[in-house]
Each structure stands twice: as structure tokens, then as C-alpha cells.
Amino acid sequence: MKNSLFMRLMRNPSGAFGTILIMVYLMAAITGSFSCCPYPPDEQHVQDMLQPPSKHYIMGTDEFGRDVFSRILRGATNSLKVGISAVVLASLVGITIGTLAAYIGGNFDNIVMRVMDIFFAFPAILLALAIVAALGPGMRNTILAIAIVYTPIFARVARGPTLSVKSTEFVTAARSIGSRPIYILRKHILPNITAPLIVQISLALSWAILTEAGLSYLGLGAQPPEPSWGSMLSDSRMMLELAPWLAIFPGLAIMLAVLGFNLFGDGLRDVFDPRLRH
Amino acid sequence: MKRYVPVLFVILAVALALSACGGATATPQVVEKTVVVTKEVEKVVEKTVVVTQQVEKVVEQTVVVTATPEPTPAPKEGGMLIVARAADAKGLDPHKQTAFSSFRLLELIYEPLLGLNSELKVVPNLADSWAWSDDGTTLTMKLHPNVKFHNGDIMTSEDVKYSFERILNEDTGSAARSYFTDIQSIDTPDDNTVVFHLSRPNVSILAAMTNPNSAILDKSAVENEDPGKVVIGTGPFKLKKWDVDQVTLLDANKDYWREGVPHIDGMEIRIIPDESSILAGLRSGDIDWALINDPRIAIVASNPNSGLVVDRTPALAYHVLMLNSGREPFTDVRVRQALSCAIDRQQVVDTAALGEGKVTAPATSPFYAAPLDDLFCYHKDIEKAKQLLADAGYKPGDITFKIMAAADEPPTAVAEAQSIQAQLKEIGVNTEIETLELGNYVDRWLKTDFDATIALNGGNPDPDIMFYRYWHSTGNLHKVAVYTNPKIDDLLDKGRVTTDPEERKAIYLDVQKILAENAPWIWLYVGYEYRAMQPYVKGFTPMPNGSIKYLRDVWLDK
Amino acid sequence: MQRYLTRRILALIPTLLGVSIVVFVVIHLIPGDTISAMIGTTYKLTEAQAEALRAYFGLDKPLYQQYLHWIWAALHGDFGYSVRSGEPVMSEILKRFPVTFELTILSLLIAVVIGIPIGVISATKKDSFIDIFGRLFALIGLSLPNFWLGTLIILGLSLYFGFMPNSGKYVSFWKDPLQNLKQMIFPAITLGFAFTSSVMRTTRSSMLEVARQDYVRTARGKGLRELTVVARHMLSNALIPVVTIIGIEFGYLLGGAVIVEEVFALPGIGRLLLQGISQRDYAVVQGTVLFIAFAFVIVNLLTDLTYVFIDPRIRYE
């Protein structure tokens, strides 16, 4: 089953290309976590500061003479950690809440969605700032902050289609023959709301990387000298004209990663589609 | 796979576009050029102390490209000056403001009794002259006659008395109060004479009277009003409209007591929070004059191709690594000394500030600053640092502490922390950087809740004002500085009552030597005050303390 | 329907009350207060002086007392005064909100006008040039952080065209529509790019989903014209997730796009909030968040109501 899913994904052009990009990303992240090559990411070579890309430093160096390529690799590790953990957390909690609320309906739906509204209606920056200020800066709390900001989004995205599917013939039929709710949710509703959710998850992964950039801008997120793509990009903003390579490479890295996640999502959607499976 | 060929093309195109737009405008060579200019300034400053004239030379160098050579033409009258800056004033009550962003507005509207000239010497302002009694406890001042407030009232000695009493009243919460607590009473023998009676001699009171916090208010206008709302001063500009965080409109004061100025009709001060956007506004010609804080932006603006004039004046405010000597391991002087020896201050400047600054002694005003070679471990000495740590009983890797830094205040703070972190690693001292949002940072700063912190502290031309609050055991911020030394107490007390400049200088030289030797803080560098303007803006004199009061002399050559 | 509406509107009250409590707790949870923020970093006051100021602003009272005091006044329409400017909070908000609202509407327009048609074409002509180009466009839009895009736009305009969209002097639409649009169009494009991308992608995937439904095949089988099939049968059914996304993004943008407002120096509500937070101007933060939350729940309600109009199968009893 796993094998056939993978094979079908590889036969899908979007899926294949997305998978390749994600593999590259994962490899970068794994390499980065060992801080092996070519330099330790926080090692300063002051005499080589602000070098454009060259033989020694293929992506140039920053104002401390740190190798941008090594930092991109380590940044992949950190961005992946933050992005994946935050999205997994937010989607698990959010989808559960949203589906249940729509399926059970009535007062439960009302109360749960109103509580979601409270958090949803809350400006993300204030929420993130408060969480990080209360718990202290650092990666774990950044993950938590991003997850809390995105949970209500997943809840709403899951709820809308569930409402729609709930009133279709096959769910009504399943209900009338006395299927258990859990069974209906798993067998009929989840597969039918997968498409919008997968699109949402692939979007959210890229959002998480971008949100992390925004938080780095406020001094939250990965603490220096630990790099993340977001913080590299926001640090480079004032150097755009002085040292464009500081901006181009993290920017490209983010773009390719986001591209990878989205293509992967597109591919998965095609593969998962229940009507294509049967 | 074929379908994605266009993807790659677009990515390539974007990358090319990015590199093209960067490459076309700035190359690292330009940075080098700027650094050379900076060094020239440094050299001359050491010799003569006349800061501003040299800076003007720098300006000329930049102008050559664009300006047409004119033999000092007569100022033209009229026109609005469009000013941009990133941060707005935090309030309008001049006695209460503590932020530099507030001073940069209030010093155009309000005036204190005394002023500083561009060489930071105390000069007459609203007071024409002053005289000390022989015992140094009575200060008599003659006010400039017929100075009018913005509402037409004539300024008298009553207004001065009212203003200082308001500052001294604890309920006001004035930022300047601690400088004037030696004032016992104020007499007003006639409309143009004020007599201050002090409980003990205090020379630095004159320097304190140049501060925007010592502004003179119109007693009859604000006695029953909130000076944060009724804004009436004696300055060259009147407040027309304050739209917080957006636009401030100032009208020229037609009745200004100095003859012939201001030349312009008024100013429109726009708040543009992002300095790269300020630069864009200067380039598009929408903005005439701007305050720049970020050295990275200033470097780009100084590029001769930009067609802009950038004033670069060494600042008085200083970047410093404050150690908490009340906490382990900094209770041991040897550990503090070891850190001081391990840090190459110039390297911090070169990396974090891209060379935009100069290493500083504890006192930052050029007259009082100690020669760096006389100070303990101002040259990096790794062996000595390691020895000191070993003497104190620490092995490499034993010490780990946190460096607290504010996220964007100053813009270079986190970068400074990273440079220090890397340098301390060389002697086996580990550090973690803790980046905090500004409000959070200030809170912890005031509570002395840190191992070590990067700070940008305000400087002052007078060393007493700089040192007393932190290093005298009765100073109001001594709690934050922690370190106490009876020798310093004695010297600071002596400095307050010494009138002879050279004698005073010697006293503060000793203070600085003791401070550097005991290293309660590690003084790093002073940056520059940047003022970027169009070539047609003439007549501005920059000040090392960052003041922009000389906007009153500005005229537009267009 | 009417009962549902009444119930939903009544339900807004606890939500907003909840928001008001959460914002109060959250803003006071952040270390530092009005006074320490006023003091700043470069030029400092002593702790004793700070305490005196705290008492002056009533910040020394227990939190619940401060809350009750504030909410009571707020229920009477008094949201307090900004410590910074001395202005009533409500008038500050009402001055700032139109900027954010206009920015949001403009980027919504861009997103709908470009995103939905391209999404539809992209889905109906799958794997065509337009499809590939459109998807690429969307992916780029999603992968550029907007502060980054905004900076690039400003840099490009000022360097190559000597033009700066907004040099700090905002003009309202009613005063000078042309000047106003000149200022707003580039920030709107900056925000609208990502907005368009998510609308386009959602439209496309939703259309593809609908295309496989039986009723679409039936409609085609009946020999209806392709245009009719797409417009009547597919689009109307595919719009639900699109409306959801639009509702979410719209509500999100109404809360102010802080960084874009900063980069383009627009006096919007996001900047007001950020300034309020960094100054610990509690009345401003509380008032602004409550206002944003209000706008937000209204948008949510409208989104939910839109479902009914688009899809008759959804009924609210």
C-alpha cells in the first residue's frame, strides 16, 4: 500500500517534482543538523566579511564572515523544525475541532467555534508576542505561537466542507442505516474534505516558514547565532543594496521549499482522491 | 518533468533580476570608500576636537559630484522643509520626555536657558550671561530681553522660576529633576534676572541647563493646563499639528528672538518607520532632509551616486556591554577583566556596524575622553584573558552567561552580541543571546535582571552627567550599574565642585582609568549621527549630541 | 433564518467579551508596562520615579479592578485615552481604520478579479500554458514574504523610476482619489499577490474536485454548452472553499498588515496596534483589538451567511 501510494505519487508530475524538492530540502536539513559542511554555520571569518559568492564561499559571506551556504543548510534544519512541528500541531488540533464541531452541530458547534473565533479574531502578532514574552524566546515557543495562530484557521477550513458533505446523500444514507458516527467521520467525511485540507496544509507549511520570518523580524524565533531562513531574509533587508547575495539565497531557498510543499500537496491530492482510487 | 522547465526559468529570472538590481547600485568598493572618509575624520578629531568643521569637509567631498560651486550665496527665504524620520516623539511635555525621538521634535519648539555650540561648549541661549558667586553656591543669570513665547507673551524670570520649580516638583515626574536637586531656592529680583541658590557647589548644573528637559515654559499659559497638550515655547518653530506617528506640521516663528532666522516658512515632519523607505523617499525627491539611524542605510545613502549629502558626526551616545557585577561570575573583578581583554572592540565595530563607529573610552565627549592607550586592556590580549580566568579559578568552558539585547534598539544590538559571543568563545567562555522586545528589555534593564546586556546609553558633553548617575553610590541609576568604588565616589564629588577645565579633565581621566581597570562594563564604541539631505538644503550644522536645533538656520537653494 | 441570525448576533456578545478578557490578560502578561516603555533605553528613569508614574496612571491597582473599570467605561462607549497622544482611543481607531479597510478592499478586488478567473481557466484547461503559468504565478506569490516584496517594490520604483508610492504623507480617498490610489495601489499589490495566489489555487483545486461530480457529468451529458456547465454547475458549487479562504484572509487583513503598513508608511490599524504594544499603551491595544475582533466576527458571520446563498443544501435552522 505504502509502496503503491509512493509509486502513484511519482507518476504524478507535480508529485514527483515536489517530492524531489522536498528530498533536497530534507537532505539540506539533515546535513545542516550535523554542521559539517563546509564550515560550522556560526564560525566567523572576520577577514572575509561580506564576500560575494566565490570558490571558497559559494554563496558568499555575511558581515561576520560567516559562510552563507553553511547557514542556509543549518537554516533548513531550523525552518523545517519550526514549520513542520507548528503545522502538524495546528492541523491535528484544528481539523479535529472543526470536523467535530460541524458534524455534531448545534450548541457544541456554536460554543467551540466561538472560542475559536476569540483566538482567530485575535491579531496574530499580539498573540505571538504574548506567548513568547510569557514563556521566553526560543524555537519551542515560536512553534507554539505559530501553531496557536493557525489552529482556528484549520478548524474553519475543516468545518466548511464538512457542513457541505454532511448533508449529501451518502452521509444521510450511512446515518439512516445506523453507522456509528466515528465510522461515518472516517469513512465518508474525512476522505471528502481531504482535498481542501491538503491544499491548506501545503499552504500552511509555507505560511509557517514566512511567519517565522515575520517573528524573526520582531526578534523572536530562532535565537542568534542559530540561523533560520526567515531570520536570514529579514536581517538582509537593510543590506539589499550592499550585499544582495545575503538576500537572494535565503529568498531562493524559501521559494523552492514552498514550491516543493505546494507541488507535493497537489500531487498528494490527486493520489488521495477517492474517486480516482476506485 | 518537461512542464517544469518554465518554473526554473522564472526562478532564474527572478534571481537575475535580484542580483541585477543590487549589483547596479552598490558594490563593496563603495563601502571601502566610505571607510576611508571615516578614518580621515577620526584622525583630525584626535588632534583638534573641533568635530563639526571636519565633518563638513566630508560633506564637501560627497557634494562635489552634484552641487554647483557657489561662493556662499545669501540665504533664500521661504519654502517648506520636508523632513522624514523613523520614530515619532513619545509625548510633548518637554520636562517629562526621556526618548531621543521626543527631543528631536521638542528642541525645535522649546528652548532651555543655555545652549551648546557645535563644539559642545556651553553658550548663552535664553540667558545672555551667568555668574557664579565665589563660594560656588549662587548662580545669577541675565535673561535675553523681549523673548516672546509663541502666544505673544514676553518671557520673564517668573517663567524661569515656574519651569524649574515644576521640574523639581516630584509629582511632575521630570526626567531632569536629579540634575537640579542641589537647587534650594530661586529668586527673581527683576524681570530679566534669575538667581539660583544651591545647597552645595555644582558646576555641572550649567550643562544640565542645556538639556531639552530644562525647557522654559510659559507660566501663564500652562499653569492650569497640561503642557503635554498646550504646546507653547520660545523656539524657532511653532507646533501647528501633531498627528501621532504620521505627520507633524511646524510653522516658522515670525517673532523669533534671534534675528533673521528661520529662513524657511515651516516644516513637515513625516514618520516613515522603515529607514529603507526613507532612503527611497530621499531618492525620489519627495523628502528634503532625514534622520537616519541604521548605519547600513547610511552607507548606501553616502554613495556618491545617490546625489545626497550625508552628515556623519561621531555621536555621544555609546554602545556598551554592561556586566552585572552583582551576579556570579562577574562578582570577581578578574572575570570582568578577562572579558575586557578578550574583546577586540574594533572588530565589534567592523562587523556589527560595518565599520561605522569608533572605539570609545567611558567618557564620550572628545574633550574629556581618555586616550584609549591609557586604558586597561583596550587592545585584545587573549593570553592575559586566559591567565585572568585561570587565576580566578575557572577552566575553559566553566563560564556560561546570557547576553540580553533588544530586538531592534539599536539596530546593531543583536549583531554586537554575536560578535562578542564569537570572540568570547576563544577564551572558553560560552554565551547565549537573549533577544527581547523593547518594552520587555527596558523592564528587565531597570530591574537589573540580566547577566550582561548590550545597551546604547545616552552620552553627555559633561562627564559628571554621564558618570554620576551610574557610578556614584548615591546616583539614581547606581542600582543598575551595581559596581561601587569609594575612590570613584570621591573623584565624582570633587569633579562637581571643580571649575578649572584642565583640573576637571584630570579628575575624570582618573575615573575612566578606574572604570576600565575594574571593567564593570565593557565600553565598546560610539556610532555616528546621520543626517541625510538633498544638496539644495543649505546651512545645517550637525551636533555630536544628535541635536537638530540648527534646522533653524536651514534654507532651501532652489 | 431570522432566528439563526438573531442567535448568531447574540453569540457575538460572549465572543467579544471573551476577546476583551483575553486581550486584557495577554497585554498585561507581556513584561514591561506603560511606564518602562515611556522611559526608553537611552535615557533612563529610576525605579522610584517609575513607581510614582505607575500610581498616576492607576497601574498599581489589581488587574481585575483595572479590567472592570475599563470594561464598564467601554460599555458606555468610552474606550479611554491614549497615553501617547492624549486622544480618545476611539477617534484614533476611526482615523486609522479607513486606511486598513481600503487596503483590504483593494487587495480583495485584485484577488477576486485575477484569482478566480485564472483559477477557473486553470482548472478547465488543465496542463495548458495558462494553467502552468497561473500555478507558477501563484506559487511565487505564496513564497515571497510580503515585507520582502514591499521592500523590493519600493527599491525598484525609487531607483529606476524616481517614484515613491508614499513618502509619509497619507491622503484620504475623499480628499484626492488619484493621489490616494497612487499611494495605495502598490501596498495593495504587495498584499494582493499572496491573496490572489491562495484564491487562485483554492478555486482551481475546488473546480477540479467539482468536475468529477456526477451532476457535472450529467450536465455535460445533457449536451449543455461548456460555458453553462462551468458557470452554472461547476463554479457555483466550487465556491464554498473559495469563500472560506476569502473570508479568512479578508478578516486577517482587516487586522492590519503591520509590516506592509510600516514599509509603505501607511497609518493603518496594524501600525496603531504595534505602536500600542511597544509603548504598552494599554487603552489603545485593548480598544484596537476589540475593534479588530468586532470587524472580524462580522466578516465571519457574513462568510457563513454566504454559504447559504451559494449552496442551497446548507441550511441554518
The domain spanning residue A174 has which CATH number?
Answer: 1.10.3720.10
Domain termination residue (choose one: B225, B249, B268): B225
Is residue A86 domain-resident?
yes
**Residue range B214-234: mean pLDDT, rounded:** 89
CB of A277 within 8 A of CB of A270? no
CB of B444 within 8 A of CB of B437? no
Predicted local distance difference test score (pLDDT) of residue C103: 92
CB of B413 within 8 A of CB of B320? no
Predicted local distance difference test score (pLDDT) of residue A1: 47
Predicted local distance difference test score (pLDDT) of residue B215: 93
pLDDT grade for B109, boundaries at 50, 70 and 90: very high
CB atoms within 10 A of CB C28: 17
ipTM over 0.90: no
The answer to whether the Cβ–Cβ distance between A225 and B433 falls below 8 Å is: yes
Residue B433 is given by DSSP the state E
Is residue A8 domain-resident?
no
Question: Residue A13 is nearest to which of B1, B22, B433, comparing CB atoms?
Answer: B1
The answer to whether the Cβ–Cβ distance between C15 and A258 falls below 8 Å is: no
**Type of residue at B1:** M
Q: What distance separates the 2 farthest-apart alpha carbons in chain C?
A: 84
Stretch among A211-225, B225-239, B485-499 having the lowest mean pLDDT: A211-225
The answer to whether the Cβ–Cβ distance between B439 and C31 falls below 8 Å is: yes
The answer to whether the Cβ–Cβ distance between B281 and C280 falls below 8 Å is: no
What is the Cα–Cα distance from A159 to A164, expressed in whole angstroms? Answer: 9
What is the Cα–Cα distance from A120 to B421, expressed in whole angstroms? Answer: 39
User: Which positions ≥6 away from B215 have C-beta within 8 Å?
Assistant: B94, B95, B106, B110, B111, B112, B163, B233
The alpha carbon of residue A211 and the mean position of all alpha carbons in its chain are separated, in whole angstroms, by: 9
The answer to whether the Cβ–Cβ distance between A157 and C22 falls below 8 Å is: no
Residue B387 is given by DSSP the state H
Query: Is the domain of B267 the same as that of B375?
Result: no
Question: Residue B31 is nearest to which of A223, A237, A242, comparing CB atoms?
Answer: A242
Q: Based on the structure, what is the number of domains in chain B? A: 4
Is residue B230 domain-resident?
no
Per cent of chain B over pLDDT 90 is 57
CB atoms within 10 A of CB C220: 15
- Cell reading at C122: 486553470
Query: Is the domain of B510 the same as that of B556?
Result: no
How does the average pLDDT of chain B come out, rounded? 84
User: Which positions ≥6 away from A94 have C-beta within 8 Å?
Assistant: A150, A151, A152, A153, A154, A155, A157, A158
The answer to whether the Cβ–Cβ distance between B433 and A224 falls below 8 Å is: yes
Is residue A118 domain-resident?
yes
Contacts of A234 in chain B (CB under 8 A): none
Burial label, B47 (beta-carbon count in 10 A; 0-12, 13-18, 19+): exposed
The answer to whether the Cβ–Cβ distance between A46 and B421 falls below 8 Å is: no
Chain B: give the shortest CA distance to residue A25, in Å. Answer: 17
N-terminal to C-terminal alpha carbon distance within chain C: 6
Question: Residue C311 is nearest to which of A121, A122, A164, comparing CB atoms?
Answer: A164
Per cent of chain B over pLDDT 70 is 87
The alpha carbon of residue C6 and the mean position of all alpha carbons in its chain are separated, in whole angstroms, by: 25
What is the Cα–Cα distance from C24 to C71, expressed in whole angstroms? Answer: 10
What is the Cα–Cα distance from B193 to B189, expressed in whole angstroms? Answer: 6
Question: Residue A118 is nearest to which of C19, C277, C292, comparing CB atoms?
Answer: C19
The answer to whether the Cβ–Cβ distance between A238 and B23 falls below 8 Å is: no
C-proximal residues of A, 79-118, CB under 8 Å: 110, 114-115, 117-118
What is the Cα–Cα distance from A269 to C135, expressed in whole angstroms? Answer: 15
What is the Cα–Cα distance from B366 to B45, expressed in whole angstroms? Answer: 8
- Taking only the tens of pLDDT, chain A with its 278 residues reads 455 667 877 888 878 888 899 899 888 888 888 766 788 888 888 888 888 898 888 899 998 999 999 999 998 888 888 888 999 999 999 988 988 888 888 888 888 887 887 887 777 767 777 777 777 777 888 888 889 888 888 888 888 778 877 777 777 787 778 777 778 777 777 777 776 677 678 768 877 877 787 777 666 777 888 888 888 888 888 888 888 899 889 888 888 888 888 788 778 777 766 554 43
Would the pLDDT of B64 be above 70? Answer: no
- Cell reading at B9: 526559468
Predicted local distance difference test score (pLDDT) of residue B63: 33
Query: Is the domain of B272 the same as that of B175?
Result: no
Contacts of C159 in chain B (CB under 8 A): 21, 24-25, 283
The values of phi and psi at residue B250, to 5°, are -120, 135
A190-217 vs A139-166: helix axis angle to the nearest 10? 150
Residue of B nearest to C156 (CA): B21
Query: Is the domain of B244 the same as that of B290?
Result: yes
CB of A31 within 8 A of CB of A37? yes
The answer to whether the Cβ–Cβ distance between B442 and C36 falls below 8 Å is: yes
What is the Cα–Cα distance from C172 to C103, expressed in whole angstroms? Answer: 12
Query: Is the domain of B262 the same as that of B385?
Result: no
User: Which positions ≥6 away from B460 have C-beta within 8 Å?
Assistant: B207, B316, B365, B466, B545
Helix (H) or strand (E) holding B81: strand B80-85
Q: Which residues of chain C have pLDDT under 50?
A: 42-43
Predicted local distance difference test score (pLDDT) of residue C179: 86
Predicted local distance difference test score (pLDDT) of residue A219: 65
**Residue range B13-29: mean pLDDT, rounded:** 37
Is residue B70 domain-resident?
no
Predicted local distance difference test score (pLDDT) of residue B179: 86
Is residue A9 domain-resident?
no
Range of the domain at A90: 14-28+67-276
Between B315 and C233, whose confidence is greater? Answer: B315
Query: Is the domain of B221 the same as that of B146?
Result: yes
N-terminal to C-terminal alpha carbon distance within chain A: 14
CB of C197 within 8 A of CB of C139? yes
How does the average pLDDT of chain C come out, rounded? 82
Chain B: give the shortest CA distance to residue A151, in Å. Answer: 25
Task: Give the pLDDT confidence of B96-108 residue by residue, as tens digits.
Answer: 887 788 899 999 9
CB of B357 within 8 A of CB of B527? yes
Q: Residue B188: which CATH number?
A: 3.90.76.10
The answer to whether the Cβ–Cβ distance between A157 and C293 falls below 8 Å is: no
Predicted local distance difference test score (pLDDT) of residue B528: 93
The answer to whether the Cβ–Cβ distance between B268 and C44 falls below 8 Å is: no
Between B409 and B370, whose confidence is greater? Answer: B370
Q: Based on the structure, what is the number of domains in chain A? A: 1
Query: Is the domain of B395 the same as that of B511?
Result: yes
Chains that touch B (3 or more CB pairs under 8 A): A, C
Is residue A58 domain-resident?
no
Residue of B nearest to A259 (CA): B7
Chain A: give the shortest CA distance to residue C178, in Å. Answer: 30
Would the pLDDT of B23 be above 60? Answer: no
User: Which positions ≥6 away from B38 have C-beta within 8 Å?
Assistant: B312, B355, B356
Predicted local distance difference test score (pLDDT) of residue C45: 59
Predicted local distance difference test score (pLDDT) of residue B124: 94
Is residue A203 domain-resident?
yes
What is the Cα–Cα distance from B74 to B159, expressed in whole angstroms? Answer: 36
Domain termination residue (choose one: B180, B204, B225): B225
Query: Is the domain of B7 the same as that of B140?
Result: no
Is residue B540 domain-resident?
yes
The three-class DSSP label of residue B455 is strand
pLDDT grade for B533, boundaries at 50, 70 and 90: very high
Query: Is the domain of B368 the same as that of B445?
Result: yes
**Residue range B327-341: mean pLDDT, rounded:** 93
CB atoms within 10 A of CB A3: 7
Query: Is the domain of B429 the same as that of B486?
Result: yes
The long-range contacts involving C104-109, CB below 8 angstroms and separated by at least 24 positions, are: C104/C191, C104/C250, C104/C253, C104/C254, C106/C184, C106/C185, C106/C188, C106/C192, C107/C188, C107/C189, C107/C191, C107/C192, C107/C195, C107/C253, C108/C192, C108/C195, C108/C246, C108/C249, C108/C250, C108/C253, C109/C192
Between B245 and A137, whose confidence is greater? Answer: B245
Query: Is the domain of B486 the same as that of B464?
Result: yes
Characterize B144-166 residue by residue with b for buried, 16 or more Cβ atoms within 10 angstroms of its Cβ, and e for exposed. beebbbbeebebbbebbbbbbeb
User: Which positions ≥6 away from B425 have C-beta within 8 Å?
Assistant: none
Range of the domain at B88: 75-109+235-308+534-558
What is the Cα–Cα distance from B345 to B211, expressed in whole angstroms? Answer: 30
Query: Is the domain of B409 the same as that of B484?
Result: yes
The answer to whether the Cβ–Cβ distance between C145 and A115 falls below 8 Å is: no
CB of B90 within 8 A of CB of C38? yes
Contacts of C36 in chain B (CB under 8 A): 439, 442-443, 446
What is the Cα–Cα distance from C176 to C174, expressed in whole angstroms? Answer: 6
What is the Cα–Cα distance from B62 to B69, expressed in whole angstroms? Answer: 13
Residue of C nearest to A257 (CA): C143
- Determine what percent of chain C falls in helix, strand and coil, rounding each to the nearest 5: 75, 0, 25
Alpha helix stretches (DSSP H) within B249-314: 275-283, 295-302
The answer to whether the Cβ–Cβ distance between C248 and A240 falls below 8 Å is: no
Interface of A with B (CB under 8 A): 13, 16-17, 42-44, 46, 49-50, 52, 63-65, 129, 133, 136-137, 218-220, 223-225, 237-245, 247-248, 251-252, 255-256, 259
Residue B435 is given by DSSP the state E
Residue of A nearest to B8 (CA): A256
What is the Cα–Cα distance from B472 to B480, expressed in whole angstroms? Answer: 12
Size of interface B-C (CB pairs under 8 A): 178
- Cell reading at B200: 552645595
Pick from C189, C196, C311, B4: nearest CA to A266: B4
Pick from B5, B553, B23, B30: nearest CA to B302: B30
Alpha helix stretches (DSSP H) within chain A: 2-11, 13-34, 68-104, 106-120, 124-135, 139-166, 169-176, 181-184, 190-217, 229-235, 245-272, 274-277
The values of phi and psi at residue B408, to 5°, are -140, 25
